[in-house]
Amino acid sequence: MIGKLDEYMRFNTTALELRSQRQQLLASNIANGDTPNYKARDIDFASSLQSALARTTPPAGVLNQTAPAHFAGAPGQSGDFLPNGTPVLYRVPAQGSADNNTVDMDVERNQFADNALRVEASITMINMQIRGMMAAIQGGS
């Protein structure tokens, strides 16, 4: 029974998890807007969601951990991958800068705001799924 509930909510919970991790990447880009040699990072959300939904087990080499310092160097711990194994990409700047920083604050702010709205939409969808299940359990509408 629990497995069916997990499967029912899997798409929206996976999307919300990826959106949350993307929001952290975008916030990091904004925070490092003035850091010399900082390279703006992001993920390809559509392909990341597709591969996350295709996985039934954690990606190879990613170990469960009980503290952030455990298993340093595992794929989920490096800056090149998110904890679920999603590769982190580097944003190609539209225009170079003197300090080799690739953060374009306008792009980052727009991406941050867009992703924030999509996080809210994901939360709304999960809440609607829960309400639908509660209505089915209680026999009402």
Query: What's residue 28's pLDDT?
Result: 96
Query: What's residue 76's pLDDT?
Result: 42
Q: What is the pLDDT of residues 20-51, one digit of tens each?
A: 999 999 999 999 999 999 999 999 999 999 99
User: How far is residue 43 from each of residues 21, 67, 99, 138, measured CA to CA in Å?
Assistant: 9, 24, 24, 40
Query: What's residue 141's pLDDT?
Result: 56
Residue range(s) defining the domain that contains residue 109: 2-138
As a residue count, the chain comes to: 141
Cα–Cα distance for residue pair 82/84, rounded to 1 Å: 5
Q: Total structural domains in the chain?
A: 1
Q: What is the pLDDT of residues 68-77, one digit of tens each?
A: 555 544 444 4
| pTM check: above 0.75 | yes
pLDDT along the chain (141 residues), means of 10: 80 94 96 94 94 70 56 52 87 86 94 97 94 87 56
